[in-house]
Structure 1
Amino acid sequence: MVSPFVTEPERAQSLADFEQAALAVLPADVRDFVAGGSGAETTLRANRAAFDRVFVVPRILRDVSACTTDATLLGRSVSMPVAVAPVAYQRLLHPEGELAVARAAKTAGVPFTATTMSSVPVEELTALGGTVWFQLYWLREAERSLNLVRRAEDAGCEAIVLTVDVPWMGRRIRDIRNRFTLPAQVTAEHLAHGAESAAHRRPGDEVSAVAAHTRQAFSSSVTWRTVRALREWTSLPLVLKGVLAPEDAVRAAEAGVDAVVVSNHGGRQLDGALPGVEALGPVAKAVGAHCQVLMDSGVRGGTDVLRALALGADGVLVGRPLMWGLATAGEAGAARVLALLADELRDALGLSGCAGVAEAARLRTVRTGAEAVNPYGGE
Structure 2
Amino acid sequence: MPTEPSELASAAQRAMSKEAWAYVDGGAGQQRTVAANTSAFDHYRLVPRMLANVESRDLRTTLFGVDMPAPLMLAPVGVLELAHPRAEHEVAAAARATGIPMMISTQASVPMEDVARDLGDTPRLYQLYWSRDESIVESFVRRAEAIGSDALVVTLDTHMLGWRTRDLDLGYLPFARGLGIAQYTSDPAFRELVAQRLTAGSGTDVRPGLREIPSALAAVASMARHHPGKAVDNLRSGHARAAVETFLDVFSRSDLIWDDLDRLREMTDLPIVLKGLQAPEDARRALEHGVDGIIVSNHGGRQVDGAIASIDALPSIVDEIDGRIPVLFDSGIRSGADILKALALGADAVLLGRPYVYGLALAGAAGVQAVIEHMIAELDLSLGLVGCRSVGETGRELLG
- Normalising by structure 1, what TM-score? 0.87
1:170 is matched with: 162
1:315 is matched with: 349
Question: How many positions carry a matched residue from both structures?
Answer: 348
Deviation at 1:187, TM superposition (A): 4.0
Mapping of 1:1-379 within 5 angstroms?
9=1, 12-128=2-118, 129=120, 130-182=122-174, 186-191=179-184, 192=190, 194=194, 200=219, 216-361=250-395, 363-366=397-400
3-state SS in 1 of match to 2:351: strand
CA distance in 2, matches of 1:279, 1:211: 37
3-state SS in 2 of match to 1:13: coil
* Structure 1 residues 30-63: Cα deviation after superposition (integer angstroms, max 9, x where no partner): 1010000011111111111101221112221101
Quick one: which amino acid aligns to residue 104 of structure 1?
Answer: A
Is the contact made by 1:44 and 1:267 (CA closer than 8 Å) also made in structure 2?
Answer: yes
Quick one: which amino acid aligns to residue 331 of structure 1?
Answer: A
1:6 is matched with: none
Is the contact made by 1:58 and 1:363 (CA closer than 8 Å) also made in structure 2?
Answer: no
CA distance in 2, matches of 1:39, 1:252: 29
3-state SS in 1 of match to 2:266: helix
Q: Which runs of 5+ in 2 are unaligned?
A: 185-189, 205-215, 222-243
3-state SS in 1 of match to 2:113: helix
**Compared with structure 1, are the counterparts of its residues 222 and 321 closer, same or farther at alpha carbon in structure 2 (3 Å cutoff)?**
same
CA distance in 1, matches of 2:248, 2:35: 25
3-state SS in 2 of match to 1:363: helix
Quick one: which amino acid aligns to residue 249 of structure 1?
Answer: A
**Compared with structure 1, are the counterparts of its residues 201 and 39 closer, same or farther at alpha carbon in structure 2 (3 Å cutoff)?**
farther
3-state SS in 1 of match to 2:46: strand
CA distance in 2, matches of 1:43, 1:229: 33
**Compared with structure 1, are the counterparts of its residues 81 and 214 closer, same or farther at alpha carbon in structure 2 (3 Å cutoff)?**
farther
* Structure 1 residues 230-269: Cα deviation after superposition (integer angstroms, max 9, x where no partner): 1232111111000001111111122121110001100001
CA distance in 2, matches of 1:151, 1:121: 10
Q: For structure 1, which segment, 66-75 or 318-327, has the greater mean C-alpha deviation from structure 2 after superposition?
A: 66-75
Quick one: which amino acid aligns to residue 142 of structure 1?
Answer: E
Quick one: which amino acid aligns to residue 70 of structure 2?
Answer: M
Quick one: which amino acid aligns to residue 86 of structure 1?
Answer: P
* Structure 1 residues 296-327: Cα deviation after superposition (integer angstroms, max 9, x where no partner): 11100100000000101001101100100000
Q: Identity, % of aligned pairs?
A: 39
**Compared with structure 1, are the counterparts of its residues 90 and 43 closer, same or farther at alpha carbon in structure 2 (3 Å cutoff)?**
same
Quick one: which amino acid aligns to residue 177 of structure 1?
Answer: D
Considering only CA atoms, is the larger Rg found in Structure 1 or Structure 2?
2
Deviation at 1:220, TM superposition (A): 1.0
Quick one: which amino acid aligns to residue 174 of structure 1?
Answer: R
Deviation at 1:295, TM superposition (A): 0.9
Quick one: which amino acid aligns to residue 152 of structure 1?
Answer: A
- Normalising by structure 2, what TM-score? 0.82
Is the contact made by 1:240 and 1:261 (CA closer than 8 Å) also made in structure 2?
Answer: yes
User: How large is the RMSD of aligned CA atoms in angstroms?
Assistant: 2.3
Q: For structure 1, which segment, 262-271 or 175-184, has the greater mean C-alpha deviation from structure 2 after superposition?
A: 175-184
